[in-house]
Structure 1
């Protein structure tokens, strides 16, 4: 039995997220598992580094699968990508240790969210358009409170007492390209709660347009009180890198 690690790029626009569903909805994992299973002539199961929500994209999603086959990486990639739809590409494959697990061995996950303040004709589907110029000084004033091993209960959709809300956040930043009217929100953490990236990004933008006051945000985040904010749409979100 062999264990293989793959790196995947996909446009999540037409998919119901990464994870295979019981109702046979169109998912990234489902398409990949079916295609790989056909090639190796046995049923395989993909373990992804994490689940992306419906409509979210990935530049470097990582997954692994086990098979009895000994694969030639060049031939396998060529054949697999020939079977996959145009919006899914497997960029790399390599044989790894048998106990490697794409999810449990990942130590950090990076996301990037793309925002535009101007109308775009090209690549518009990959940007969330806003109609205001956020105050980055206000946004940057609250970012430090989010860094470290913190509870994100106040920004989580599932607020059940049994849920684990703790995440170790390593980095958050907003960068602006004024000449293009673009903003890039980046966040890196050990793990993410459901819709957490879109909630954090939405809250920071709400702070940047004075819809949420910085001190109110800080107080509620510390106490775990629900922060009413705008969840950013999924189209601008990319899983950019997995660290091991």
Structure 2
């Protein structure tokens, strides 16, 4: 059966994450319902991974099967009129029949946005931190996680996360006027990993933890979750590499 790959951008503020669930609206659920309405048969999409409640994406990747040839322009245009305005499927293409959005992915890239003054335009996509931050100390923390590490202390434990090692390929802070942006790329991510890394780095930047304390949490993994969480609204999935 023909397989189609989609790219999705969304503001996750009003959703219970990506994955369909009974508690409330999800991004996956909205897209499945919209495609099922347009194509007039049930559509089941598979995402490259989950994003939590309140997390955003610029290029979430998913795939679905459909027994027929689809006109990419027609379908993406039709979705404009069916999907909520905070979700957009902006690319649709046919891929090989064995392509898998999750299992074929080689890397994921996220950014976390911090604003250092009140910013109404970024209120839904950034965490506000008014404290003076020690950026040099935060950079030292960011550099320390490069490579393969066991991040058990920085994740939400659960039976689905038996493997807690990740290979961090890129980890860096960038300053733009009244914004501090953290960029990270890895082969895989654990649940809440980026938010707990950033949250703990912010604590270091505020002087509430030292770089050595951050390194101690990193080098001595434990299921007691030693990391400090940042707000979901600051996190944005930027790209999935294949």
TM-score, normalized by length of structure 1?
0.94
State the distance in 2 between where 1:44 and 1:182 align. Answer: 40
Alignment length (residue pairs): 241
State the distance in 1 between where 2:145 and 2:23 align. Answer: 37
* Partner deviation per Cα, 1:34-65 (whole Å, 9 max, x = no partner): 11112222212111111000011111111100
2:220 equivalent to 1:223 = yes
Q: 2:184 aligns with which of 182, 187, 191?
A: 187
For 1:148, the equivalent position in structure 2 comes to 147
Deviates further, 200-209 or 151-160:
151-160
Q: 1:207 aligns with which of 193, 204, 208?
A: 204
State the distance in 2 between where 1:46 and 1:85 align. Answer: 17
Deviates further, 135-144 or 226-235:
226-235
Deviates further, 55-64 or 213-222:
213-222
For 1:50, the equivalent position in structure 2 comes to 49
State the distance in 2 between where 1:121 and 1:217 align. Answer: 32
1:24 positional shift: 5.6
For 2:230, the equivalent position in structure 1 comes to 232
1:143 positional shift: 2.5
Specify the SS of the correspondent of 1:19: coil
2:35 equivalent to 1:36 = yes
8 A Cα contact 1:17 1:56, kept in partner: yes
Specify the SS of the correspondent of 1:125: coil
CA distance 1:122–1:161, change in 2 (3 Å) = closer
Specify the SS of the correspondent of 2:81: helix
State the distance in 2 between where 1:163 and 1:235 align. Answer: 27
Specify the SS of the correspondent of 1:17: coil
2:15 equivalent to 1:15 = yes
- Unaligned 5+ segments in structure 2 are none
For 1:5, the equivalent position in structure 2 comes to 5
Specify the SS of the correspondent of 1:98: coil
TM-score, normalized by length of structure 2?
0.94
* Partner deviation per Cα, 1:75-127 (whole Å, 9 max, x = no partner): 11111221111011111110000000011111010111111111113232212
